[in-house]
């Protein structure tokens, strides 16, 4: 028997005893020629009735107590099931919007957040910037050192982007060697600082230790102007052109050198 049941039994016994005394007191009021004690223990039939009523009261209390306990257990089980389901949904959502290799947002995650960000910028009349980067020479790394080295290079590129941008910014890998980032709340001045910081972080990363391959990112930056709104696809087309322009400049510089 549960500890709660013991408390219920005690309370029911007290309640039954109070009923017995109150009933006897009521009888005394209406049978004033009898003593209170004689009314407390009237006759066998009256005593049996009071005992029966008291046992019914006690049984009802126990049933009620166990019903409440069962309901509590059911509620706890339901809450636990809801919590487990929510955790499973969160894990599923994370898998659906995150890139498994780098831990950045994937294409789906990026477009979901970018569309929201673009709508907010349009409504608030704010300018936003989008940086599109391509990991240079990934095919060469895969061909010379294997796909494991290529995966490592992609992970390193993702780490460089994480070091460059803030946690609140949107950073994603949207293709094999393609990365994209939207720095939140950025102005013309700060986007230049971010560009310089990215170049510096790439350089520092390549100087850390002896490497079989260097990390090189070609990137372009496009601006969304709320006075001349465009879609996210149009913005991506603009920044893609700028990124390839940067890549061509690198190749041209390398051929001259």
Residue 224 CB coordination number (10 Å): 23
Q: Are strands 170-173 and 178-182 parallel, antiparallel or unpaired?
A: antiparallel
CATH for 107-256, options being 3.40.30.10, 3.30.70.270, 3.40.630.10, 3.90.550.10: 3.30.70.270
Residue 144 pLDDT:
92
Average pLDDT over residues 57-86: 68
Cα separation of 104 and 101, whole Å? 8
The per-residue pLDDT for range 93-123, each reduced to its tens digit, is 666 889 999 999 999 999 989 998 888 888 8
Structural contact between residues 180 and 152, judged by C-beta atoms closer than 8 angstroms = no
Its pTM stands at 0.66
List pLDDT tens digits, range 207-231.
977 778 889 999 999 999 988 888 9
Residue 141: burial class (beta carbons within 10 Å; 0-12, 13-18, 19+): buried
Please tell me whether residue 230 adopts helix, strand or coil conformation: coil
> What is the residue whose two structure tokens read 């500890």?
3
């Amino acid at each position: 028997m549960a500890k709660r049941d013991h408390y219920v039994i005690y309370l029911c016994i007290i309640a039954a005893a109070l009923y017995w005394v109150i009933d006897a007191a009521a009888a005394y009021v209406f049978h004033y020629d009898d003593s209170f004690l004689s009314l407390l223990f009237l006759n066998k039939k009256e005593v049996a009735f009071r005992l029966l009523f008291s046992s019914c009261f006690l049984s009802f209390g126990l049933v009620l107590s166990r019903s409440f306990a069962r309901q509590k257990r059911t509620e706890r089980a339901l809450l636990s099931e809801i919590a487990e389901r929510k955790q499973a949904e969160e894990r599923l959502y994370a898998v659906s919007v995150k890139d498994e290799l780098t831990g950045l947002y994937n294409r789906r995650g990026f477009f979901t957040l970018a569309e929201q960000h673009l709508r907010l910028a349009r409504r608030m009349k704010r300018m936003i910037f989008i940086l599109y980067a391509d990991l240079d020479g990934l095919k060469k790394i895969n061909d010379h050192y294997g796909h494991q080295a290529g995966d490592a290079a992609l992970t390193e590129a993702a780490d460089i982007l994480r070091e460059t941008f803030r946690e609140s910014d949107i950073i994603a890998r949207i293709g094999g060697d393609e990365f994209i980032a939207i720095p939140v709340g950025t102005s013309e001045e700060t986007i230049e600082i971010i560009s310089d910081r990215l170049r510096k972080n790439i350089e520092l990363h390549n100087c850390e230790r002896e490497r079989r391959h260097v990390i090189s990112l070609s990137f372009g930056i496009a601006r969304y102007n709320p006075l001349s709104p465009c879609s996210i696809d149009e913005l991506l087309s603009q920044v893609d052109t700028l990124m390839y322009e940067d890549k061509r400049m690198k190749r041209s510089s390398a051929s001259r050198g």
